[in-house]
Structures are given as structure tokens and as C-alpha cells.
Structure 1
Amino acid sequence: MQAQSYFQLLNPLVFLLFAIGFLSLFAVNRDMKAAAWIGASYAFGATAFLIDFLRDSFSLIFVSVLTNVFYTITAVTFAAGIAMRYRQHAPWNALLLAAALNLSAFAFFLFVNDDMWLRAFAVNLGNGLILTIGLFTIRSHMHRPIEKVIFGVYVVMCLQFIVRPVMVFLLDDAPLNVETYNDSIFFIALHLVVGVIAVTMAMTLFVSFSIQIIEDLGERSITDSLSGMLNRRGFEEAAARTFLLADETGEAACLVLADIDHFKLINDNYGHGFGDVVIARTGSLFRGYANGGRSVGRIGGEEFVLLMPATRLEDGRLFAEAIRRKFAAYKFHTDQGALKFSASFGVAERRPGEALTELLSRADAALYFSKENGRDRVSDETDLDKTDPSKALDALERRHHRGLNAPIIAGGGG
């Protein structure tokens, strides 16, 4: 086999390896749909290059049509994958319209005006246009250095579809036709430039996906899988950042502590599976308030917490009351009909320099006050001033009373 044949086989082999790599990422994490589309793009690219390599074995028109169809599909799927990577959806209407225009131009210069240079310009310009559609999805998502690198490589990828054929046309006086195509500078430049850029793009994308995987693993380590909220460790880390900022700015912070009423009876009467549903629904409700710098977490079996920066006690109590009403109004559908449950809340405002444990202890005392005074209510630390101190339990006794030292499962508590 001649050296030129080996050169022609290099791109399909490299493209195939990258296709396997990206599709493997998707197989490991099905949420990475972008990796699947990018992997498919490299697979289609490998097919296009392989057909180009085998062009002498088939009808020239058949090979030309099939090759350009696969090149177009390669561009469409790659642009779609990039769009899904950064915007979670692909602009299919624009991509398919550009693909149709590209193939129409190719057909015109193949069957009507059989000028190979014009056909080459039209096809390259069309594929560049398709890829440019995906380029716009990156522009507003360059938050990390690797994304800026991807954007830069992508710009070069799009530009080369115009620059490369123009440069070859200006520098090469040899005619471009079916007989000279495999030995032409145009052919060599196509395989060389596209191959180098495709490899560079694949490597940068692998780095980007790897960073995402590492970040996802880190997020899972601080996230409670049942409620979707921060777990105890994650909430403590978030609170530390909030307190640091509060100490620098002198602003207040408010903490809301909530506990589902009679949760042990819910588990006993309806099963732990249903208890998990209640936990998940409560987590969803709290997550709706996790904006504006607020942090929400599940720090006990049925105990939830909301930390609000730059918030005074009065506003924190209003937030707690809104959550209480929403939770009390929610219907849980079972075979026995729709059920409603309640939760009790305790609110406390952070004092300057106060640690999380101390703030939690005061919110916990307010929560216990709610439990002792009928449940399904909101109390704050000022309510404790109205109680007989001799009747108060210390924080450890209260937590033991409600079973909050148990593992984070659907169980315990009252």
C-alpha cells in the first residue's frame, strides 16, 4: 500500500477513535447527550473519509454524492452537539435548513454546472455555515478558560472552510477534476487541515467534559440524593461562605429550620417509600427558594434548613410562613385518597461573628417551641423570651427528643 493510501486512512481511524471516546462518555453518563451527538459526528466524519478513500471502487457520482452527504451530516451533528453542550437543545430548524441549502448547491454544481472548483467552494462554504450556527451557542458560555479555547478552535474550524479552498485556488494552478482529485493539493489540504483541527477540537472537548465530570462528582458529594438539596456537609460549606461575606459587609443573615410534623407516623402508616416521596416533595419546595445567594439543605431525617443572607428576622419569618402554607396546602395522592401534612418552623437571626452551630441551636429552640405549641406554625427566637426558662430543654436534648441524630433516611422525628 502506498504512503498516500496510509495518509488517506489516517483521518477515518482517528475520527473513529474519537467517536468511540465520546460515545463512551455518554454510555457512562447518559446526561451527557452532547457527547453522544459529538461522538456521532466523528463517526459520520470517519465514514465520509473512508468513502473518500474507497472512491475508486464505486461510481464517481455515487461516491461524490455519498461523501458530501456524510460530510454535511457530520457538520450538522457536530453543531447540534455543541449547542446541546452549552444550551441543552439544538437549533434543528436552522441546521436542517442550512444542510438543505448546502446539498442543493452541491447538486447544482454536480448535475447542472459541473465545475469542480465551484462545487468545492459551495460545499465548503455550506459546511462552514452549518458549523457557524453552533458557534453562536458558545459565545455567551465562556465562563472557564477551556471554553475560551474551544471557542477559539471552533472559530478556526469555521474559517478554514473559506480560507483553505481560497488559498489552494490561489496557490495551485493545476486543474481540479475527477481524474486529478486524489493527487491534488486541495485533497491533501482537506485531509491535513480538517484532521489537525478535528483532533485539536476533540482534545479540548475531552478536557471540558472531564472538568464537568469532576465538578459533578464534587457536587454529588455535597448533595442529598433524595431531596436534591445540600447535605449537612454541603450546607455547612455554603454557610461558611455566607457568614464570611456577612462579616465583611456587616449584613445580617437569617436561618429557617423546618421539621415535618409526625413524620414517624407517616412512615408507619404509609410506608417508608411514601415517606421518601414526602421528603422529595419538601426538598423540591425548599429548592424553589434557593436563589439570590440563599442556601437550602437537608441536615436531618426530616429536618430542612434555609439560610438567607442580608435578611433580618422579620423577613425570615415571612419566608418561613410562605413555605409553611405552601407545604400545608400540597396534596399527596395515595390509594387512600389525597393527604395533607404540616411542618413546624423555627427562625433565628445570626449575630455578628456567630458560628453555625450557635445559630442552629437558637433556630432549633424556636422550632421546638413550635412543636410544643401545636405544630404547623412558625416561631422565632423572640417567642422564646415569653416562655418560662425552666421549661426549656437544651439543644442536645431537643434533638434527641425529635430523633435528629439518626442517619439521613426517611424516618424518625415528630
Structure 2
Amino acid sequence: MQAQSYFQLLNPLVFLLFAIGFLSLFAVNRGMKAAAWIGASYAFGATAFLIDFLRDSFALILVSVVTNVFYTITAVTFAAGVAIRYRGHAPWNALLLAAALNLSAFAFFLFVRDDMWLRAFAVNLGNGLVLTIGLLAIRTHMHRAIEKVVFGVYVVMCLQFIVRPVMVFLLDDTPFTIETYNDSIFFIALHLSVGVIAVTMAMTLFVSFSIQIIEDLGERSITDSLSGMLNRRGFEEAAARTFLLADEAGEAVCLVLADIDHFKLINDNYGHGFGDVVIARTGSLFRGYANGGRSAGRIGGEEFVLLMPATRLEDGRLFAEAIRRKFAAYKFHTDQGALKFSASFGVAERRPGEALTELLSRADAALYFSKENGRDRVSDETDLDKSDPSKALDALERRHRRGLNAPVIASGNG
């Protein structure tokens, strides 16, 4: 009897441990809402098993009702959590309908036609149905290796709710009543199969969440938090990939460099917080063009860059002009009313085999030409050929002085 008690306590302790683990993931990263639902599922499961363990302390019918309600909630929250994890949202209507049918069947075979076997079948098939709804919701969203493993374990979880009661019914001919439940083969099979599959599923999901955390950390390391664009490191990595593909295909690459005009005055007059708003809005604008293989980054305090593969200089200039006009039309609201700002642009086309530093230097020279000739305009490298070279500083030296090769500086540095 003591060994059986220890066996009964194993599942609630294991479920509680995993509940703490998943809820801890959510506490660390509130964006992992799926972890919260899955953690809640394991917590409900622990509660159900614990009540089952204490069944001799209460009325058996009351324990049966409460336990099966918690088992159903466990299935619903787990299916919802996995659906949110891999699909983005849960099929709540279907899940709640299946849960209602499950509990209705349980109540019928308890209060209307008291049959322990039919009640056990109804509950197992009902919870299996709830979980299967979650399985069907994610079936087309599992592409990576770990996701396929999760899906496979999930399939086994759903099947055991059907196979287990059938096998027990065929193999066990002893009386099965609410009084003999704790000593039945059904009870042992339930605790053993659910315990094993729950541990396997939890470990698989932990691996899946761990991979996501690692990927998120990698993404953060190459992303500028203020603008949401690639930071210097991320942009350099993206440019290296773009150049490699362009060299293999023999395609042109065009670079647009932009700098917000009089940004130091914006910070001085309206505060660094407002300057951050301008940076974020500019980043949002550039990110809108970062598709189709294009890469956008923030490589300086108020300096932004857009790299466009398979794009010639003329088309790059059109892109820059479109961005310039949109930015100039933006209204930034302050206590003094709506304000508008401008930005200057420089455009250059990559030469065969040219490195990023050299391409940036030529785009920077074109940007400097725009600054020297009134700002709020787009210039490209051909404009420099028409100007007096003595008016332009050496672009590469200027970029070093402005800290291109240093980490992104705060917008407040103007």
C-alpha cells in the first residue's frame, strides 16, 4: 500500500515540476504566452492527480467529478498552449465545445446511467478529442526537425487516450467500480502512460523553447533595439551575404545612405526622448523597404542604410527619393504643434568585387554632397563627378571620425 501511495504521488510531483519550469520561462520572457498556457496545463494536471491521490479523504463521487473536471481543463489548456506556440492562436471555440461534450458524457454515465467502464471510455475519448483538436490546429505549421518531433510525441499522446482504455478493457476482466478504481489495472495504466508521455512531451517542448530563446538572443545581437533595424554588425553580415550572391549571379547592388538633417538640434530643442521617437519612426520607414532580399540598418546615431540587390544606380535613386518624400511628410506631434523634419541621402552602386567599406565611402561622399547643397535631397555618385572635388572631405576618413566602425551610438549624441 505504501508503494502504491508513492506511485500515486509521482505524477503530481512531476507535473508540478514541469509547471514551474514552463511558468518560469514565461516569467523570464512575457512574450512566451504559450509557455504560460502549457505551464498552467501541467499545474492543473498536478492538481487532478493530487486530488486522485486524496480520494479516500472525500466522497468518491465528489472526487470523481472534480478530478475529471481538472483532467479536462488540463487537456484544454495544453492543446491551447501548443496551438499558440506553433500557430499563434488557439481554436478556443472547438476546444470548449469538445470539453463541454466530454463533461456532459461523463455526467451522463455517472448520474443517469452509472457505468464505470462507459464513463472511463467517455472521459478518455473526450480528452483525446480535445487534444486532437489542438493537434489538427498545428499540423501544417510544423516544419523544422524539433517541431516534427513535438508533433510525433503529440500524436502518441492523442492515440494513448484511445488505445489504453481499449487494451485494458480487453485484458482485464476484474470488476471495475468507483470503489475498486485505485486497485484497478486501468488506474495503473493511466498513471504510467500519462506520466511517461507527459515527461516526454515536456522535455521535447523545453528543447523547442530553448531553440527559440537561442534564436531570439542571436536576433537581438544583430538588431538595434530603438529602430528595430539591423545594427552595424547585423548589417555587415547581411551585406556579406548579399555581395556573395551578387558576385555569383553577376548582379548589381545599390546602397542608399541617409542622415537626418540637424538631428543634434532636434535633441537640443525637444529632448532626447523625442529624438528617440524620430529615430524609431525613421527605422519603421526603412524597414518597410527591407523586403525582397533588401537589408536595412542603423549604423550610426541618426544614420540609416538600405542595401538593395539586383538594383542599378538609377533605381536606387528612385528608392531614396521615395523614402525622402515619405520622411519629409511625416508629422511629429509636440506641445508646440506638429513638426516636420528632413533627411539627406547618398546613393552608390557597388563595383565588381568592391568591399562594403568602399561602397559606403562613395555613398557617404554623395550624402555629404547633399548636405553641402541644401540638405533634404538625394545625390548619387554621378553628382560628384559634376562637382568640385575640393569641396568634399575624404569620405573614408570622415566615416572613421564619425565612428562607423564603433557600435551604434545613442540617438541623443546628435
Is this a same-fold pair by TM over 0.5?
A: yes
- Flag the 1:406–1:266 CA change in 2: closer, same or farther, 3 A: farther
Structure 1 residue 75: Cα displacement: 0.6
8 A Cα contact 1:301 1:404, kept in partner? no
Shift of 1:264: 0.8
Change (3 A) 1:237 1:175: same
Question: 1:161 offset after TM fit, Å?
Answer: 0.8
Give unmatched runs, 5+ long, in structure 2: none
CA displacement at 1:410 relative to structure 2: 4.4
SS in structure 2 of the partner of residue 338 of structure 1: strand
Q: Distance in 2 between matches of 1:354 and 1:42?
A: 56
Deviation digits for residues 164-202 of structure 1, max 9, x if unmatched?
111111111223211221111111111000100000000
Structure 1 residue 391: deviation in Å?
2.4
Judging changes above 3 Å, is the alpha-carbon distance between structure 1 residues 412 and 77 closer, same or farther for their aligned structure 2 residues?
Answer: closer
Inter-partner Cα distance in structure 2 for 1:29 and 1:411: 27
Larger deviation: 380-389 or 136-145?
136-145
Whether the aligned pair in 2 keeps the contact of 1:135 and 1:151 (CA below 8 Å) is yes
Measure, in 2, the Cα distance between the counterparts of 1:403 and 1:147. 43
Report which stretch shifted further, 64-73 or 348-357: 348-357
Deviation, structure 1 residue 140: 2.7
381-390 vs 50-59, which moves further: 381-390
Report the equivalent of 1:348.
Answer: 348
Greater shift, 122-131 or 388-397, is seen at 388-397
Matched residues in 1 for 2:275 and 2:321: separation? Answer: 23
- Unpaired runs of 5+ residues, structure 1, are none
1:130 & 1:258 partners in 2: Cα distance? 54
Cα offset, 1:401, TM superposition: 8.0
- In 1, the alpha carbon distance for the partners of 2:66 and 2:407 equals 61
Q: What corresponds to 1:268 in structure 2? A: 268
Taking a change above 3 Å as real, the CA distance of residues 347 and 384 of structure 1, as seen in their structure-2 partners, is same
**Alpha carbons 2:345, 2:366 under 8 Å: kept:** yes
Q: Deviations over 1:21-61 (max 9, x none)?
A: 11111111111111111111000000000111111111111
The CA distance in 1 between the partners of 2:411 and 2:81, in whole Å, is 43
Give the structure-1-normalised TM-score: 0.96
Count of matched residue pairs: 414
1:344 is paired with a residue whose SS is strand
Q: Distance in 1 between matches of 2:371 and 2:143?
A: 46
Tell me how far 1:403 sits from its aligned partner. Answer: 7.6
The answer on whether the counterparts of 1:404 and 1:413 sit within 8 Å (CA) in structure 2 is: no
Q: Which moved more, 1:390-399 or 1:210-219?
A: 390-399
1:260 is displaced (CA, Å) by: 0.4
| CA-CA distance at 1:143 after TM superposition | 3.2
Which stretch shows the higher mean deviation, 14-23 or 78-87?
78-87
Q: CA deviation at 1:413?
A: 8.4
Structure 2 distance, partners of 1:393, 1:197, is 69
User: Bigger CA drift: 137-146 or 380-389?
Assistant: 137-146
Change (3 A) 1:378 1:413: farther
**Residues of 1 paired with 2:370 and 2:109: CA distance?**
80
* Cα contact 2:45–2:71 (8 A) shared by 1: yes
Matches of 2:271 and 2:407, distance apart in 1: 17
Cα distance, 1:253 vs. partner?
1.5
Deviations 1:299-357 (A, max 9, x none): 00100011112222222222211211111111111111111111111111112211111
Where 2:411 maps in the other structure, the secondary structure is: coil
TM-score by length of 2: 0.96
Distance between the aligned counterparts of 1:302 and 1:352, measured in 2? Answer: 29
* Cα distance in 2 between the residues matched to 1:207 and 1:401: 45
Residue identity (%): 93
> Deviations for 1:210-232, whole angstroms, at most 9, x for unmatched residues?
11111111111111111111110
Is the contact between residue 331 and residue 339 of structure 2 (CA under 8 Å) also seen in structure 1? yes
Q: CA deviation at 1:65?
A: 0.8
RMSD over aligned Cα atoms: 1.8
Q: Is the 8 A contact 1:279 1:410 kept in 2?
A: no
After the TM superposition, which residues 9-408 of structure 1 pair with which residues of structure 2 at under 5 Å, given as runs?
9-399=9-399, 408=408
- Which of 42-51 and 77-86 deviates more? 77-86
- Does 326-335 or 42-51 show the bigger shift? 326-335
Deviation of 1:408 (Å): 3.1
- 2 CA distance for matches of 1:406 and 1:150? 42
Equivalent residues of 2:276, 2:412 under 8 A apart: no
Are the counterparts in 1 of residues 275 and 412 from structure 2 also a CA contact under 8 Å? no
Measure how far apart 1:151 and its partner are.
0.7
- Give the drift of 1:138: 3.1
Q: Which moved more, 1:255-264 or 1:143-152?
A: 143-152
In the superposition, relative to structure 1, how do residues 48 and 137 fare at CA in structure 2: closer, same or farther (>3 Å)? same
